[in-house]
Structure 1
Amino acid sequence: MIDLEIVKEPICHALGKNEVQPESSIYQAYKIDSGKKIGSNITVNEGLCSLVGFSPSDFKQADYFLLDEINNNAQIIELSDLSSDYKDCMKATKDFDNEDLTYAQMILKNKDKAKDFVHTKIWSEVISEFKNKWFGSIAIIERYCRKINFSNDLSYSFLIVLKNSQDPYELEIISRKLKGMVRHQIKVVNTKNLDKSLLIKIS
């Protein structure tokens, strides 16, 4: 029997550049990712991935999950400080939304073609990363459920948590881009708004 208490910890971002303490929440969840994150007085233990017998290299995986066995719901939680690829996508999207013709002309010298290129080609890598973490995390959680003889079908949702410094407009953009990624519910929030978005609160 696997005890989820072993992988329970405060929801915490990776330690960012020039940060003394990683941005974290008072709320807890169960760790999926088996990578180590070490901040000031914070050490992250192995996650569920290793405990159910997978190697961390077997799947892309999100950071955390919550499980409501009574209502057959699971929530996958990914914390992100946004990669440089994402920031490039965001810059281009903002420019197009603001009708920045100079930027559009700089790419292919055709606004319509450039906009389509950004939305379908550049964003595809970012969205693919989230999709891979989504499906990899489901595989890990499903194996855990089999090991504890939980046979009910789970309904999954995806919560993406960005840092508090993130522009609310950028949250709206990434929510729009990820909509339709999977047929399940996806929500994008800042760390400070976690309390309104968690599937359940555990202590």
Structure 2
Amino acid sequence: MLEDSFIKEIEHAPCMNGCVEALGHHAYKIDGGDGLSENIGFNNGTLSNVDYFCKRDNDIQLIELSDLINSINECNVNMRSMLIDQQKKKGKKLSSTEEKKIRKKAWFPITSEFSKKWSGSIAVIERLYRKNKVLSDDPNYHMLIICKNNTDIIMLDSLKTQLIGMIRSLRICTTENASENLLAIIKPKN
């Protein structure tokens, strides 16, 4: 079903210094020119995809590696600014419902990105399975977001709070504890 050529080491994109955080484990590459997405007929840029996936039985784990520090900080700054502006306009403390609406709006760029990656990656895997006549049952999808080690744990909790209703089964961690969150370990054949 899957060629070994798509098994790649799970690693973040290099930082500005050229350093790469890697897990030391492998998974099937979805995104990029060397990934499954383009190989099974999706043009580059047609779909947003996660970076990798692994599978165990009927469970498929979508794996996204991200450096979200700047994006999360930007969402938090925008949220604070919107809360202050709205409170000034209203002239009194905002209700929890109003605060929730503002939080959702401030976090929309990140939640929208992950929603597209979730859906696009499922589309790639479903096409792959359909082309190869695999699985009679619907697979159970899970998502693992792996942030760089310097990401603050509070940021990860905030991100998870925003995504939990949209993505059914979600784990968020840093590179250093990603191994314990992987659904399966794929061994490349040499």
TM-score class normalised by the smaller sequence: 0.7 to 0.9
Output the CA distance in 1 between the equivalents of 2:149 and 2:82.
28
Secondary structure in structure 2 of the residue aligned to 1:112: coil
Q: Whose relative contact order is higher, 1 or 2, with alpha carbons under 8 Å and at least 6 apart?
A: 2
2:149 pairs, out of 150, 164, 167, with 164
Q: Is the 8 A contact 2:69 2:151 kept in 1?
A: no
How far residue 54 of structure 1 moved from its aligned partner, in angstroms, is 1.1
**What is the Cα-based RMSD across aligned positions, in Å?**
2.3
Query: Given that residues 6 and 36 in structure 2 are in contact (C-alpha distance below 8 angstroms), is that contact kept between their aligned partners in structure 1?
Result: yes
The question of whether the paired residues in 2 share the 8 Å contact of 1:89 and 1:118 is answered with no
- Counterparts in 2 of 1:74-89, with a 5 A limit? 74-82=60-68, 84-89=70-75
Residue matched to 2:109? 125
Task: After the TM superposition, list the runs of 4 or more consecutive aligned residues in structure 1 that deviate by more than 4 angstroms.
Answer: none
Residue 42 (structure 2) aligned to one of 54, 57, 64: 54
Superimposed CA distance per residue, residues 16-72 of structure 1 (whole angstroms, 9 cap, x where no aligned partner): 22x22221110111110015xxxxxxxxxx10001111112211111000122xx21
Separation of aligned partners in 2, 1:138 and 1:174: 21
Deviation for aligned residue 1:117: 5.1
**Matching residue within 134, 137, 146 for 2:118:** 134
Question: 1:48-197 residue pairs with structure 2 within 5 A?
Answer: 48-68=36-56, 71-82=57-68, 84-91=70-77, 104-105=83-84, 109=88, 112=94, 115-116=99-100, 118-152=102-136, 153-182=138-167, 184-197=168-181
Deviation at 1:10, TM superposition (A): 1.0
Question: Residue 147 of structure 1: CA displacement?
Answer: 1.9
**Percent identity between the aligned chains?**
34
* C-alpha deviation, 1:180, in angstroms: 0.5
TM-score, normalised with respect to structure 2:
0.85
